[in-house]
Amino acid sequence: MATDASPQLRSVPPPSDFHPEISLSQSPTHDGLHFWQFMIAGSIAGTVEHMAMFPLDTLKTRMQALGASCSVQPVSVRQALGSILKLEGPPGLYRGIAAMGLGAGPAHAVYFSVYELSKQVLSRGDPNNSMVHAASGVVATVTSDAVFTPMDMVKQRLQLKNSPYKGVAECVRMVVMEEGIGAFYASYRTTVIMNAPFTAVHFATYEAAKRELMEVSPDTANDERLVIHATAGAGAGALAAALTTPLDVVKTQLQCQGVCGCDKFSSSSIGNVIETIVKKDGYRGLMRGWIPRTLFHAPAAAICWSIYEASKSFFQQLNSR
């Protein structure tokens, strides 16, 4: 005669909130998101940001590359824009956008995911520590710049007036054949030295501004939160861009050296490049392109942070189901 199974052998149903697919994956971070979700959110935000603002990036590159071989009169944003439209038409503003598309997604996936991971590790229970935000930003930029610098160099060479390259593939092939792999990283040190303070100022300012704005209006709706993220991002991006323009000029000179009349430097020494710029163009040469750079980073940061925060909210809602 069959008997009931002993109590200890009876199967116990899992708790109602048990989800095996979540328990087997990486534990959520401080924002309730997984590492891969930060990567996707960052990749989307970075790609949209750079593609949307690409024409201003082209203007900045053109203005910063001028005067490399000889001293010339400063060129305004209006003059640079007029020259491109007259000689090349609107497509001239988008030369190199393919390289940007190839580099921005992976680089920003690394950028934001490393930032969030570093912020979680360094915060030690204090999510409002500005020094932690700045330090996390520096760690993020050192890592992401290693991914982005090669494509950024290709992008800037394609943006030059009368660029000898027809596209990304040809530029990569010719650089490898004529200058070697190291040419892709000639500006890496300068890029990191520039982006470290840029990102420190940017992230710390953004987090502080966002926190203050949220405290002023804590019960904001989703559309109002979007405005807060955009406002904080725009202010942080503009401030960081203006402060780091001189190093951005050095980076452009190193990445474009030897192309379209730009000087060829004997080393990637920042001091050597600065000395050359100041000798030929004066100290004003170090601020070439600061207006389009600021005009680029203010709306770009607003777009990037808005999309990033919106993507995070989407994943948070997805994870809570």
pTM of the model: 0.75
Tell me, what's the pLDDT at 62? 87
Tell me, what's the pLDDT at 269? 83
Q: Of 173, 285, 300, 143, which is closest to residue 235 (Cα–Cα)?
A: 300
The residues near 98 (Cβ < 8 Å, ≥ 6 apart) are: 167, 168
Alpha-carbon span 282 to 264, nearest angstrom: 19
Alpha-carbon span 153 to 5, nearest angstrom: 71
Tell me, what's the pLDDT at 150? 95
Q: Estimate to the nearest angstrom the gap between the alpha carbon of 32 and the chain centroid.
A: 23
Tell me, what's the pLDDT at 32? 79
**What does R_g of the chain's alpha carbons equal in angstroms?**
24
* Residues composing the chain: 321
Alpha-carbon span 167 to 239, nearest angstrom: 33
Tell me, what's the pLDDT at 28? 60
Tell me, what's the pLDDT at 51? 93
Alpha-carbon span 50 to 40, nearest angstrom: 16
Domains of the chain: 35-320 (1.50.40.10)
Tell me, what's the pLDDT at 219? 62
Segments of the chain with pLDDT less than 70:
1-30, 66-74, 217-224
Burial class (CB in 10 A: 0-12, 13-18, 19+), 182: exposed
Alpha-carbon span 185 to 191, nearest angstrom: 9
> Alpha helix locations (H) across 124-221?
130-159, 168-178, 188-216
Question: What phi and psi, each to the nearest 5 degrees, are found at residue 105?
Answer: -60, -60
| Alpha carbons within 13 A on the beta-carbon side of 177 | 6
Contact between 29 and 117 under an 8 Å Cβ cutoff? The reply is: yes
Tell me, what's the pLDDT at 123? 82
